[in-house]
Structure 1
Amino acid sequence: MSFESTRRRLTEKQADTVDRLTKAAVEVLRAEGFAGLTVRSVAGLAGVAPATAYTYFSSKEHLVAEVFWRRLAASPEEADASLDRTGRVVAVLRHIALLVADEPELAGAVTSALLGRDPDVEHLRTRIGIEIRQRLADALGSNPDPDVLESLELLYAGGLVRAGMGYGSYTEFADRLETSAKLILE
């Protein structure tokens, strides 16, 4: 799958470099955590000059936000037609919540990164938000109530921050999203 860069369109060679950098970022996160992650260390692991890495990623937050964006974009959730509206919404929320659940260092880093003020992170945060909103709107069906849609978005965002703060695992976060979404929708 090809991804549009935050900063510009990529040639095939540039896309390969960005892929290597994002994969290396996950490896560094696993070994060093978010505090130990630097664009320079990721560049070294990816076999890329640090200056080259910085042409693609303005900060470690930008790099981690890109990793999450790519995972989200690469994992569209097909709506199960046999589910009712609540079931579809719960499936969407659970799917998104569990994208990084089995990688606690990445999950925590994503929460920290998405809260950053880097303009490139802000751009990705907007893209991520639009994607999640669209998935929720699709799950709700035609003409979703805007207040319900916004409540579900707030539920997800608040849960993400709560999980990132260590108030439970991302799997527990997914379970809590399900319970809370049912309260909103039923």
Structure 2
Amino acid sequence: MSQESTRRRLTQQQAETVSRLTVAAVEVLNEEGFDGLTVRTVAKLAGVAPATAYTYFSSKSHLVAEVFWRRLNAGVGEPDLSTPPAERVAQVLREVSMVVAGEGQLGGAVTMALLGTDPDVEHLRLRIGGFIRRRLAEALEVEPENPGPLLDALEMIYAGGLVHAGMGHMSYEQTSERLVAAAHLLMEK
């Protein structure tokens, strides 16, 4: 896992502190929900001074976005180029949609956090979107900078699907299968 945070490179000790904070954030989310989450509460649970926590995370939205970024980065691998393109796209969409599956209130919190206006969240939102775009481009064997309409459509599908799941309309498992089915429909055209 990368030791780079939103704001700077981290020493090993700093990386461990950030890791404790992100783990504690998920625990607090599952007990208190997004509305009850505060950086101060997370810091207390992680055994970190609130001032220290705020040096890494400007807001609760920033903290939740970082949790999602770390899980996405660790949970979405490079597509298997030995499989057909539709299967590679399905692999990426499944992995993206399942990053927060079974994580209690994390999915809804990620949706709320990523839709915010915090500049640190905006930075992560761009990083997250770029990462997913690269993975889908790799699956399609196209350049991310010159993707064509298929990649654009796939991005719209996953973004809408994840927002839909984050609002609680369906589970992430159900969303995953619907994303894959939609991708297959697009790719058959």
Confirm whether residue 79 of structure 1 aligns to residue 99 of structure 2: no
Q: What residue is the counterpart of 1:151 in the other structure?
A: 153
**CA–CA distance in 2 between the matches of 1:16 and 1:177?**
35
CA contact (8 A) 1:133 1:153 kept: yes
**CA–CA distance in 2 between the matches of 1:165 and 1:19?**
27
Over 3 Å off, 4+ runs: 142-145
Q: What residue is the counterpart of 2:51 in the other structure?
A: 51
**CA–CA distance in 1 between the matches of 2:162 and 2:168?**
10
Equivalent residue letter for 2:173: T
* TM-align CA RMSD: 1.4
Alignment size in residue pairs: 186
Confirm whether residue 89 of structure 1 aligns to residue 94 of structure 2: no
Aligned with 1:175 (options 156, 162, 177): 177
Inter-CA distance 95–76: structure 2 relative to 1 (3 Å threshold): closer
Return 30-39 or 91-100, whichever deviates more.
30-39
Task: Provide the secondary structure at the position in 2 that maps to 1:104.
Answer: coil
Q: What residue is the counterpart of 2:187 in the other structure?
A: 185
Instruction: Give a deviation string over 1:134-179, Cα, whole Å, max 9, x none.
Output: 0000001245752111111111111111111221111111011011
Return 92-101 or 26-35, whichever deviates more.
26-35
Superposed counterparts of 1:2-81, under 5 Å: 2-81=2-81
**CA–CA distance in 1 between the matches of 2:51 and 2:80?**
45
Identity of aligned residues (%): 64
CA contact (8 A) 2:43 2:53 kept: yes
CA contact (8 A) 1:29 1:36 kept: yes
TM-score (norm 1): 0.95
Task: Provide the secondary structure at the position in 1 that maps to 2:105.
Answer: helix
Q: Which runs of 5+ in 2 are unaligned?
A: none
Deviation at 1:32, TM superposition (A): 1.3
**CA–CA distance in 2 between the matches of 1:27 and 1:129?**
26
CA contact (8 A) 1:34 1:105 kept: yes
Equivalent residue letter for 1:182: H
